[in-house]
Amino acid sequence: MQTITLDADGLALLERHARWWQRKGSLFATVQSEPLGDLWLPLSDGTLASTDLDLRPEMLDVDRLAGPLQAPGALEVRGDLFRTADPYGRVPWVEAILGTPIRATIQGGSMRTMAFVSSWQEWEQSAVHRDEAWFNLLVRLTDLLALRSGGRFAVVQPTMRGPSDLAEAVLGPELMSFSLYDHPESLQRFLQQATGVFVEILHELLAHIPPVEGGYVSPFGIWAPGTVVRTQCDATAFLSAAHYAQWFLPCDVQICESVDYSIIHLHSCSLHTVDALLSVERPQAIQVTLETSPPGPTLEEMLPIFRRVLRSKPLLLSGKLSEDEVRWLQAQLPPDGLAITARQTEW
């Protein structure tokens, strides 16, 4: 396994990251924002996909996905964050491993899941709910990234969507929503299965990811002095706060309790889950992707929520922010536990 070394700046940053988890001190970085283009999809026949297709793992060129071998060096820093690389995050890995068909849209620049369970009988009659080919590809790609990193970037988990998102992907929003009332026991069993698969995948990946000074780097570039997970609950956009707290929060807590440190991703247009997340110890931190264009809330409207989060948990704000907006947020919010990553085309 690749050995990660740190220079003096990296070692100092470790201490700042450890303090951030304790809500002591702040972090800031700018990241280059690239426009969404065609989906880059190298295929095992040596070509690049040029038309939309239903994707299977054997169709992918793992060598090109892993990228070239990096010259050895110290772990690189971007602002107050570490440089990271994940195993081809365009793939919705957990959904694929659960058996969800994946559609690659080349000009759309994305991969989409297609709900494939039309009834609970169909799901419960299936004895296998794990696609080993997708699972093995993810582990192999993680290994290759670690071997080729040269120690210059931290290998991190890919985007792993949480139980509410997995339910929407596998069942579709209609069956998922109706099951809250019509099939609660079946939905509960599904959520426990999906949560278990998430945790299994996460811990297998952690076994293949080189640690950094006894800890691990989150996908946001923030180091934690132990194992770490990034999860999310985007499907709560069409759920009430009460439904999230009753059905899905316990699953998110279970995921977060399986490791030492945890951070959950939210969108600024669906912050109704914040009070539920603040009522539990884990996840320890909250990340919000800012989307301030109408009809989304403005920064001013979200400010009271951000202040409430920072009273008990670290907060990471990420989005397209001007220099003036960054300065305004830093002036309006308490610094301890605040992190900001500003996406910029140029500053």
**pLDDT of 305-334, one tens digit each?**
999 999 999 999 999 999 999 999 999 999
Q: What is the mean pLDDT of residues 2-26?
A: 94
> In 3-state terms, what secondary structure has residue 167?
helix
Q: Is the dihedral of CA 207, 210, 212, 214 positive or negative?
A: positive
Q: Are the C-beta atoms of residues 23 and 333 closer than 8 Å to each other?
A: no
Segments making up each domain of the chain, as ranges: 8-344
Q: What is the pLDDT of residue 345?
A: 53
- Compare 116 and 3 and report the one with higher pLDDT: 116
* Residue count (the chain): 347
Cα separation, 24 vs 339, in Å, equals 11
- The average pLDDT across 162-184 equals 96
Higher pLDDT, 53 or 295: 53
d(CA 231, CA 73) in angstroms, rounded, equals 30
What is the CA angle 123-128-133, rounded to 5?
Answer: 125
How high is the mean pLDDT of the chain? 95
Whether residue 19 is predicted with pLDDT greater than 80 in this model: the reply is yes
Give the residue-averaged pLDDT of 23-52. 91
Q: Is the peptide bond before 225 cis (omega within 30 degrees of 0)?
A: no
- The answer to whether residue 127 scores a pLDDT higher than 90 is no
Q: What is the pLDDT of residue 292?
A: 75
What's the pLDDT at 34? 67
163, 250 contact by CB (below 8 A) = no
Q: What is the pLDDT of residues 270-310, one digit of tens each?
A: 899 999 999 999 999 999 999 877 888 999 999 999 999 99
Per-residue confidence band for 344, with pLDDT thresholds at 50, 70 and 90: confident
pLDDT of 63 over the 70 cut: yes
pLDDT in tens, 66-101: 999 999 999 999 999 999 999 999 999 999 999 999
Is 0.85 topped by the overall pTM? yes
Confidence class for position 150, pLDDT limits 50, 70, 90: very high
User: In the predicted model, is pLDDT for residue 35 greater than 80?
Assistant: no
Query: Would you say residue 337 has pLDDT above 60?
Result: yes
Query: Residue 215 carries which DSSP code?
Result: B
53 has pLDDT over 60 = yes
Q: Where are the beta strands (DSSP E) in the chain?
A: 27-32, 53-55, 77-78, 81-82, 84-85, 102-105, 110-113, 154-155, 216-217, 223-224, 228-232, 261-267, 285-289, 315-320, 338-344
DSSP string, 30-64: EEE---------BBTTS-B--S-EEE-GGGB-HHH
Of 294 and 175, the structure prediction assigns the larger pLDDT to: 175
The pLDDT value recorded for residue 347 is: 45
Task: Pull the structure tokens for residue 156.
Answer: 């991190």
Residue 126: the pLDDT is 81
Q: Write out the CATH class of domain 8-344.
A: alpha beta
Question: Which pLDDT tens digit goes with each residue over 239-248?
Answer: 999 999 999 9
